[in-house]
């Protein structure tokens, strides 16, 4: 009986002392854990483009030794293409593109060139966002440059037209434009100029012709789809 009474007294003392001890304990402030900022992230993307173009050449030469009549009117045409790229999230992005190009109408008043072919380029760009960082969305702009090559086929019409032919030319390109970032999809309208040092039918004999310092000017519309 004495043991039971002692146990009851100990339990009652613990119940009475607990609030006092709780009141003596210090209050600790709430700790807020900040969110971790992992910085901007990059993403891969697919792109598709369509453009209208204008072609011009500085000089027309034939293998007969004549510096022939220079072009008097430009050629007009179009291009369509696709590509695959990666954007780093810091404004820098790179891609590779392949385009089918067609152009007709470049003329010296006697002969007219009809050109078609494929252009492959490796490109680098820098994106400027009007809203802050490179991935903030909304309106922005970009500049870029590309290097690659073109395989083409030529067909010339008119008096004494030379034979059809084909050839390869290195290509240097420059790009600039405006874009609208919708998150998964980015749409842009831009200008691209491509420089081809020489276009020729590469046919031996008197039927050969060479067009030096060729430029193709394009207004392009592009859609990019991000893999996020």
Token readout for 132 is: 């802050």
Mean model confidence pLDDT for the chain: 86
Split at pLDDT 50, 70, 90, the class of 205 is: confident
pLDDT value at position 204?
79
Nearest to 73 by CA among 52, 103, 116: 103
Q: What is the mean pLDDT of residues 23-52?
A: 71
Cβ–Cβ < 8 Å for 117, 152: yes
Which residues touch 85 (CB under 8 Å, ≥6 apart)? 44, 45, 47, 93, 94, 95, 96, 123, 224
pLDDT value at position 194?
98
Which residues touch 117 (CB under 8 Å, ≥6 apart)? 100, 101, 150, 151, 152, 153
Which residues touch 124 (CB under 8 Å, ≥6 apart)? 92, 93, 94, 144, 145, 146
| In the block, residue with structure tokens 């007969």 | 64
Q: Which residue has the higher pLDDT, 29 or 156?
A: 156
Phi and psi, residue 137, nearest 5°: 85, 180
Split at pLDDT 50, 70, 90, the class of 37 is: very low
Q: How far is CA 25 from CA 15, 76, 79, 119, in A?
A: 16, 85, 77, 77
- Distance in angstroms (rounded) separating the CA atoms of residues 8 and 119: 95
Split at pLDDT 50, 70, 90, the class of 66 is: confident
| In the block, residue with structure tokens 């790229």 | 85
Q: Which residue has the higher pLDDT, 16 or 130?
A: 130
- Distance in angstroms (rounded) separating the CA atoms of residues 89 and 104: 40
102 has a pLDDT exceeding 80: yes
pLDDT value at position 105?
96
8 has a pLDDT exceeding 50: no
Domains in the chain with CATH codes: 43-227 (2.40.160.20)
| In the block, residue with structure tokens 């470049």 | 106
What's the pLDDT tens digit per position in 145-204?
A: 999 999 999 999 998 888 999 999 999 999 999 999 998 999 999 999 999 999 999 987
Q: What is the mean pLDDT of residues 117-145?
A: 87
């Amino acid at each position: 009986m004495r043991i039971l009474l002692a146990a009851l007294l100990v339990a009652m003392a613990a119940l009475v002392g607990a609030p006092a001890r709780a009141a003596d304990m210090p209050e600790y402030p709430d700790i807020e854990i900040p969110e971790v900022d992992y910085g901007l992230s990059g993403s891969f993307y697919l792109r598709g483009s369509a453009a209208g173009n204008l072609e011009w050449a500085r000089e027309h030469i034939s293998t007969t030794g004549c510096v022939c009549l220079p072009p008097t009117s430009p050629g007009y045409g179009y291009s369509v293409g696709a590509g695959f790229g990666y954007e780093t999230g810091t404004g820098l992005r790179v891609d590779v593109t392949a385009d089918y190009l067609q152009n007709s109408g470049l003329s010296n008043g006697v002969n007219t060139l009809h050109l078609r072919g494929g252009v492959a380029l490796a490109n680098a760009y820098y994106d400027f966002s009007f809203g802050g960082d490179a991935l903030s969305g909304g309106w922005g702009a970009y500049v870029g440059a590309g290097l690659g090559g073109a395989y083409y086929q030529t067909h010339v019409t008119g008096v004494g037209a030379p034979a059809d032919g084909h050839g390869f030319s290195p290509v240097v390109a420059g790009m600039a434009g405006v874009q609208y970032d919708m998150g998964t999809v980015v749409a842009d309208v831009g200008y691209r100029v491509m420089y081809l040092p020489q276009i020729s039918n590469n046919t031996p004999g008197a039927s050969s012709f060479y067009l030096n310092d060729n430029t193709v000017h394009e207004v392009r519309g592009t859609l990019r789809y991000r893999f996020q």
